[in-house]
Amino acid sequence: MIGAGMAALFFDVGARLLTSALAPIPLRPPAASTIAEGVDMLHYTLTAITLFFTVVIFSTIFFFMIKYRRQSEDEIPPEIEKNVPLEILWTGIPTLICVVIFFWSASLYVRNARPPDASTEIFVVGKQWMWHLQHPEGVREINELHVPVGVPIKLTMTSEDVIHDFYVPAFRVKKDVLPGRYTSLWFQATKTGTYHIFCGQYCGADHAQMIGWVYVMEPSDYAAWLSGGASHESMAQAGERLFTQLGCVTCHAGDNTGRGPSLIGLYGKPEKLRSGETRIVDEGLIRQAIVFPNSVILPNYPPVMPTFQGQINEEQVLQLIAYVKSLGTQERTGK
Amino acid sequence: MAPTAAHSPALVHQFETKEQQHDAGNLGMWIFLATEIMFFGGVFMAYIVYRALHLEAFIQGSHFLDVTFGATNTAVLICSSLTMALAISAAQTGKSKSTIITFLVLTMLLGAAFLFIKFNFEWTHDWTEGLVPGLHFTYSGPHAPGVQLFFCFYFFMTGLHALHMFIGLGILTTLTVMAYRGRFNPEYYAPLEVSGLYWHFVDIVWIFLFPLLYLIGRHYGGGH
Amino acid sequence: MSTAVADIHEVPAGSRVNYLNASYGIKSWLFTTDHKRIALLYLASITFMFLVGGTAAVLMRIHLIEPQGALVQPETYNKLFSIHGIVMVFFFLVPSIPATLGNFLVPLMIGARDLAFPKLNLLSWYVYMVGAIFTLYAVISGGVDTGWTFYAPFSSLYSQTHVVAAALGVFITGFSSILTGLNFIVTIHKMRAPGMTWFRLPLFIWAMYATSVIFILGTPVIAITIFLLGLERLLHVGIFDPAVGGDPILFQHLFWFYSHPAVYIMILPAMGVISEVVTCFSKKRIFGYSIVAFSSMAIAVISFLVWGHHMFVTGQSVYAGLIFSVLSFLVAIPSAIKVFNWTSTLYKGSISYEAPMLYALGFIGLFTMGGLTGLFLASLATDVHLNGTYFIVAHFHYIMVGGAVMGYLGGIHFWWPKITGRLYPDAWARFAALVVFVGFNLTFFPQFMLGYLGMPRRYAVYPQEFQVLNVMSSAGASILGIGYLIPLIYLIWSMRYGPAAGPNPWGARGLEWEVPSPPPTENFEEIPVVTEEAYNYTGARQTLG
């Protein structure tokens, strides 16, 4: 009977090995970003630990099954109920392993959490069931993202509808894309090539079709691509156009004569709001001001700003934000 | 069945002694109240999160609530907990069944008064003012979305509480009938005790609801 | 253990009055308050629900043989995985061991005549059935496509399917869990036989107790979450809608606050079964009794502190991520301790290989692997890459199928003679256990690889390069399906044609083995007095019957 059991296990393993020998299956996606190798190293270590303990436990079980199989119905095993040093050992070793893995992983994670200051920003709007991307220079893409190799790229993302998730396996990056707020991820590609984009959060009927490609190009090719084709207005220029079209300029005149504050130099600064709290003027706050104006009124200004919710889409909001940023004195230079 | 100590009629078959049955009943009710704490706790947590995110809107919404009614209801419920405790005490100390029934009925009247104030005065008023999200919400002043969120929680939390009050009234009715039939005496008053725990719990939930919903504005001093 | 003689002669089931033949007719079953009959009512219901959820799985795996989908439209596929998850989690795994084996065994194991509240017990079954009917209605009338996780705002504002019916079904059935948990806790506290101290309890009881703690504290939160979701959907009020100030991430916090402890509801009972089976079939006391008992409680407590690891990529702060990561590593430690203790119980034992033992040993190995793959997900840097992929799917199936379901099957086989008074054919049972083991690994191991390669979960279609691994997985699923059908057949066969079982066919220790098979309605002629520790296998030799 044990023989049958072991045979079954070996058949199982053998079948797997045989199949993978016949059709070589990669163990990992392409490693095309600065963090990919680090993540893979951690992953392989965890895999080794998993396989090690699994094999140890299974083999110990098999060994005991054979060595201590019942010889007669009358045999009485010895009383072995506990062994405190052993308990401490096999509590301590797993704890140690967990501590090491935690710190290793956390340090990778923390290091990867903040984008470098000089990142190129690209803006992503997810909607059922496609990705809209905008470069600051104005080029727009659908389900495709062209980037230069070797340059840190920061994606600022939001959703028009439900929760999506922007996932590039080759870069080992993933972040949920949420309605009503901005999330971001960053990466620096290390190899030119074409890599999958997947939507990683179930979002309805065509969730599996909400996929695309990242094209990583040499910097010169990227520059050529960026400026090729019809000339585009940059995001900031589009935002300026909207600023006038929607009448924002009426109240937010640059010389502070309107009913609202001038927006020059506002971006990136901490501001104290009417409610008393102080917040940094970032993308999220500007979006909130456009959609829920009365929640972020500045002191000494009346709460009379109308909401533009429903009048503009998320991409247009990003263009307005780009315009407000361009009015600021922060040294943010997009490409 | 093997011979055991004579079972009094009130001892059910799975228990060996009256003490065991009584203890089990009490522990069961305490555990049930623990689940109720988690139940209400979930919606309290959601409320607290939104209050932090939309403080001005919640202050605004809170102003639409009538603190007088709320405070009256709080007093009514506290009194009803008192009468409930007196009903239990009456049974424990062997008072007449009419004493027990009187206190039970008083508890029910006070509970009904609470519900009457809530539904007839507060909720009806909210309806005519157009403050019922999803059904009749016409407020369009400042912070309208946040105010709507506030009222969602207001109706949900007080509605859930009111549902528990109704169930409590049903339990009290049953207890009154049992008392009328002379079921309670110093040896057996477990249903009163266990129901009393439930009733006190419903009271305590209200004591948390009242300041959370009605008194935010007071805390932040007036508002706009 | 008890002072009564354990040497009862084999009597054919049916010729002696027991809980099965004490009364006849449908009403005697539908209005029973006997915990043993209620356990069988649950057994029938959850087996049916398992077949519903399993059918959805079969259809899914057939569909995934082709990259463009071999069977159904994407909308239908989305409904299939939603139904599979909802039914399997809420209607099979959560109640499985507690409501069947727990209901049957808790009073017997502690020396009581019934649970503390038998009528509440029956009510819990009816509540389960009402919830199941709502959910089945949702399935039959067109399905639900939100996934078992019901994330807002998709489920509250965008889905066009029967969300409210399905959510209502889950809401209602949750109360069944609460009632069961309440019953178990009071019973274990107040109704232990004389001499049955806490540390003489079988570890299955400790497992039921820990599980019940989670039932009590966690289930109400999912109830309120689903209630809020239903309100939003019905009244169009934006509780989780960002357009009106709501927060969809709040939904996730509330949802996972229950649903993470829920996975421990699913595994702790199986761990309890393993402790019983491994000791019986190695004829040894459990190694490290109190450690195993405390580990169960530790798992129950820590399980409430880790829910955020499902949300590492939602944009939560780095600090939140770090805290949940630490705690998630912490919760792995008690489980590891248990695995080592079970394995050590085999050392110098007298081991036999009946089907329950094969399931138990398979559990130990597969749970080790499934649990260790959890570390990949507790680890922040790898979770970013793996979240939302097939790695997650493989991880939880290793624990829930390789772990919980195998524990469940092992328990069913172990106590089947006690429950039915019949023996099943052990050769077929061992064969089926091996088929399940092989089929299971072939189904889910390739999914670990798919996950790291980047294939997201809940995909009705996928890029060509993932096909080979998908086909392997589907092949395994067909084997696994056969492995599940075989026990269904011989167990039902045994109820009528199986040889009669004596009170203790395995030579096990425990109060439940001291009563006839099947037990009489009142469980014990006299309430036993307990004088020994649990698993007293090295005491006087037992009479096998």
User: Is the same domain home to A50 and A98?
Assistant: yes
Residue type, C136: L
Q: Cα torsion for C174, C175, C181, C187, to the nearest 10°?
A: -160
Q: Is residue C506 part of a domain?
A: yes
pLDDT in tens, A267-300: 888 888 887 788 899 999 999 999 888 788 888 8
Percent pLDDT > 70 in chain C is 96
Q: Is residue A331 part of a domain?
A: no
Tell me the β-bridge partners of A157. Answer: A124, A183
In this prediction, residue A331 has a pLDDT band, given cuts at 50, 70 and 90, of very low
- Stated as kind and residue range, the H or E segment containing A159 is strand A152-159
* Whether pLDDT at A205 is above 70: yes
Query: Among all chains, which residue has been given the structure tokens 């399997």?
Result: C88
Q: Is residue C543 part of a domain?
A: no
Please work out, in degrees rounded to the nearest 5, the angle formed at the alpha carbon of residue A217 by the alpha carbons of A214 and A218. 160
Q: Cα torsion for B176, B177, B182, B186, to the nearest 10°?
A: -40
Cβ <8 Å between B35 and C217:
yes
C30 touches chain B (CB under 8 A): no
What's residue C8's pLDDT?
A: 43
Residue type, B169: L
Among B50, B53, B56, B140, pick the best mutation site for testing chain A contact (most A Cβ within 10 A).
Answer: B56
pLDDT in tens, C136-179: 999 999 999 999 999 999 999 999 999 999 999 999 999 999 99
pLDDT in tens, C303-313: 999 999 999 99
Mean pLDDT score of chain B, rounded to an integer? 90
In this prediction, residue A7 has a pLDDT band, given cuts at 50, 70 and 90, of low
Secondary structure of residue A96 in the 3-state scheme: helix
What's residue C5's pLDDT?
A: 38
User: Is the same domain home to A250 and A294?
Assistant: yes
User: Is the same domain home to A207 and A257?
Assistant: no
Secondary structure of residue A134 in the 3-state scheme: strand
Secondary structure of residue C31 in the 3-state scheme: coil
CATH code, domain with B190:
1.20.120.80
Burial of C406 by CB count in 10 Å (0-12 exposed, 13-18 middle, 19+ buried)?
buried
A275 closest CB neighbour out of B55, B142, B145: B55
Read off the pLDDT of each residue in A220-238 and give the average, rounded to a whole number: 87
Residue A303 with chain B: CB contacts under 8 Å: 142
* Whether pLDDT at A116 is above 70: yes
Nearest-CA distance C125 → chain B (Å):
18
Residue A295 with chain B: CB contacts under 8 Å: 54, 56-57, 143, 146
* Whether pLDDT at B154 is above 90: yes
Q: Cα torsion for C329, C447, C85, C263, to the nearest 10°?
A: -20
What's residue A15's pLDDT?
A: 64
What's residue A260's pLDDT?
A: 85
In this prediction, residue C16 has a pLDDT band, given cuts at 50, 70 and 90, of confident
* Whether pLDDT at C10 is above 60: no
Cβ <8 Å between C186 and B24:
yes
Percent pLDDT > 90 in chain C is 92
User: Is the same domain home to A260 and A319?
Assistant: yes
* Whether pLDDT at B3 is above 60: no
> What is the phi/psi pair of residue A166, to 5°?
-95, 120
Question: Over the Cα atoms of chain B, what is R_g?
Answer: 21
Residue C373 with chain A: CB contacts under 8 Å: 50
Residue A1 with chain C: CB contacts under 8 Å: 353, 430
Among C182, C184, C232, pick the best mutation site for testing chain B contact (most B Cβ within 10 A).
Answer: C182
Give the Cα separation of B107 and B101 in Å (integer). Answer: 10
pLDDT in tens, C440-469: 999 999 999 999 999 999 999 999 999 999
- Stated as kind and residue range, the H or E segment containing A146 is strand A144-148
Cβ <8 Å between C352 and A101:
no
Q: Cα torsion for C509, C511, C515, C519, to the nearest 10°?
A: -120
Least Cα distance to C460 among C114, C111, C59 occurs for C59
Residue C225 with chain B: CB contacts under 8 Å: 42
**Contacts with C45 (C-beta within 8 Å, 6 or more apart), sequence order:** C125, C128, C129, C132
CATH code, domain with A197:
2.60.40.420
Longest CA pairwise span in chain B (Å):
76
**Contacts with A185 (C-beta within 8 Å, 6 or more apart), sequence order:** A154, A155, A157, A166, A173, A174, A175
CATH code, domain with A285:
1.10.760.10
Question: Of the candidates A227, A254, A272, which is a domain's last residue?
Answer: A227
User: Cβ distance C307 to A170 under 8 Å?
Assistant: no
Question: Of the candidates A227, A252, A270, which is a domain's last residue?
Answer: A227
Q: Is residue A335 part of a domain?
A: no
More confident residue, A184 or C238: A184
Cβ <8 Å between C315 and A181:
yes
Cβ <8 Å between A295 and B142:
no
Q: Is residue B16 part of a domain?
A: no
What's residue A262's pLDDT?
A: 85
C5 touches chain B (CB under 8 A): no
- Stated as kind and residue range, the H or E segment containing A101 is helix A84-113
Read off the pLDDT of each residue in C255-278 and give the average, rounded to a whole number: 97
Residue A8 with chain C: CB contacts under 8 Å: 434, 437-438
Read off the pLDDT of each residue in B180-190 and give the average, rounded to a whole number: 90
Name subunits touching C (3+ CB pairs < 8 A).
A, B
Residue A294 with chain B: CB contacts under 8 Å: 142-143
Structural domain of residue C174, as residue ranges?
32-514
Residue C242 with chain A: CB contacts under 8 Å: 178-181
Cβ <8 Å between A204 and C353:
no
* Burial annotation A125-162 (CB, 10 A radius, 16+ → b, else e): bbbbbbbbbbbbebbebeeebbbbbebbbbbbbbbebb
User: Is the same domain home to A267 and A318?
Assistant: yes
Give the Cα separation of A333 and A117 in Å (integer). Answer: 10
Cβ <8 Å between B152 and C218:
no
DSSP assignment letter at C69: -
What's residue A22's pLDDT?
A: 58
pLDDT in tens, C285-335: 999 999 999 999 999 999 999 999 999 999 999 999 999 999 999 999 999
Q: Would you say the ipTM is above 0.95?
A: no
Residue of A nearest to B143 (CA): A294
pLDDT in tens, C362-396: 999 999 999 999 999 999 999 999 999 999 999 99
Structural domain of residue B146, as residue ranges?
36-219
Cβ <8 Å between C291 and A82:
yes
Residue A38 with chain C: CB contacts under 8 Å: 381
B32 closest CB neighbour out of C182, C221, C526: C182
C244 touches chain B (CB under 8 A): yes
Cβ <8 Å between B56 and A292:
no
Cβ <8 Å between A205 and C74:
yes
Interface of A with C in 206-265 (CB under 8 A): 206-209, 211
Read off the pLDDT of each residue in B43-70 and give the average, rounded to a whole number: 92
* Whether pLDDT at B48 is above 60: yes
Among A111, A201, A296, pick the best mutation site for testing chain C contact (most C Cβ within 10 A).
Answer: A201
Residue B205 with chain C: CB contacts under 8 Å: none
Spacing of C-alpha C326 from chain mean position: 26
B31 closest CB neighbour out of C182, C219, C231: C182
Give the Cα separation of B104 and A217 in Å (integer). Answer: 81
What's residue C545's pLDDT?
A: 38
What's residue A1's pLDDT?
A: 54
Name subunits touching B (3+ CB pairs < 8 A).
A, C
Q: Is residue C453 part of a domain?
A: yes
Give the Cα separation of A143 and A130 in Å (integer). Answer: 6
Q: Is residue C14 part of a domain?
A: no
Read off the pLDDT of each residue in C400-409 and give the average, rounded to a whole number: 96
What's residue A330's pLDDT?
A: 42
- How many structural domains are present in chain A? 3
Read off the pLDDT of each residue in B175-195 and give the average, rounded to a whole number: 92
What's residue A20's pLDDT?
A: 59
Least Cα distance to A141 among A215, A200, A204 occurs for A215
What's residue A12's pLDDT?
A: 63
* Whether pLDDT at C218 is above 80: yes
Cβ <8 Å between A49 and C249:
no
pLDDT in tens, B106-150: 999 999 999 999 999 999 999 999 999 988 999 888 788 889 999
Least Cα distance to C508 among C223, C108, C232 occurs for C108
What's residue C203's pLDDT?
A: 97
What's residue A295's pLDDT?
A: 80
A52 touches chain C (CB under 8 A): no
Cβ <8 Å between B13 and C115:
no
Q: Is residue C174 part of a domain?
A: yes
pLDDT in tens, A119-148: 899 999 999 999 999 999 989 999 999 999
More confident residue, A1 or C226: C226
Q: Is residue C37 part of a domain?
A: yes
Tokens of C346: 């085999």
Residue of B nearest to C235 (CA): B134
Q: Is residue A201 part of a domain?
A: yes
Structural domain of residue A55, as residue ranges?
2-70+82-113
User: Is the same domain home to A37 and A125?
Assistant: no
Read off the pLDDT of each residue in B48-72 and give the average, rounded to a whole number: 92
* Whether pLDDT at A254 is above 50: yes
Read off the pLDDT of each residue in B178-202 and give the average, rounded to a whole number: 93
Q: Is residue B10 part of a domain?
A: no
> What is the phi/psi pair of residue B198, to 5°?
-60, -45
**Contacts with C353 (C-beta within 8 Å, 6 or more apart), sequence order:** A1, A2, A5, A65, A69, C281, C430
Read off the pLDDT of each residue in A195-211 and give the average, rounded to a whole number: 96
* Whether pLDDT at B6 is above 90: no
Cβ <8 Å between B55 and A303:
no
Q: Is residue C191 part of a domain?
A: yes
Interface of A with C in 165-184 (CB under 8 A): 165, 167, 169-170, 172-176, 178-181, 183
- How many structural domains are present in chain C? 1
Q: Is residue B164 part of a domain?
A: yes
Percent pLDDT > 70 in chain B is 93
C-beta atoms surrounding C403 within 10 Å: 27
Residue C191 with chain B: CB contacts under 8 Å: 14-15, 20, 24
What's residue B7's pLDDT?
A: 44
pLDDT in tens, A22-66: 567 788 999 999 999 999 999 999 999 999 999 999 999 999 999
What's residue C6's pLDDT?
A: 39
Least Cα distance to C438 among A15, A24, A18 occurs for A15
**Range list of H helices, A138-177:** none
Residue C378 with chain A: CB contacts under 8 Å: 102
Residue of C nearest to B45 (CA): C254
Mean pLDDT score of chain C, rounded to an integer? 93
B149 closest CB neighbour out of C185, C235, C244: C244
**Contacts with C49 (C-beta within 8 Å, 6 or more apart), sequence order:** C87, C91, C92, C132
* Whether pLDDT at C4 is above 70: no
* Whether pLDDT at B4 is above 80: no
Give the Cα separation of B180 and A324 in Å (integer). Answer: 76
Give the Cα separation of A186 and A43 in Å (integer). Answer: 20
- How many structural domains are present in chain B? 1
User: Is the same domain home to A283 and A249?
Assistant: yes
Cβ <8 Å between C247 and B53:
yes
* pTM for this prediction: 0.92
Give the Cα separation of C264 and C403 in Å (integer). Answer: 11
Residue A292 with chain B: CB contacts under 8 Å: 145
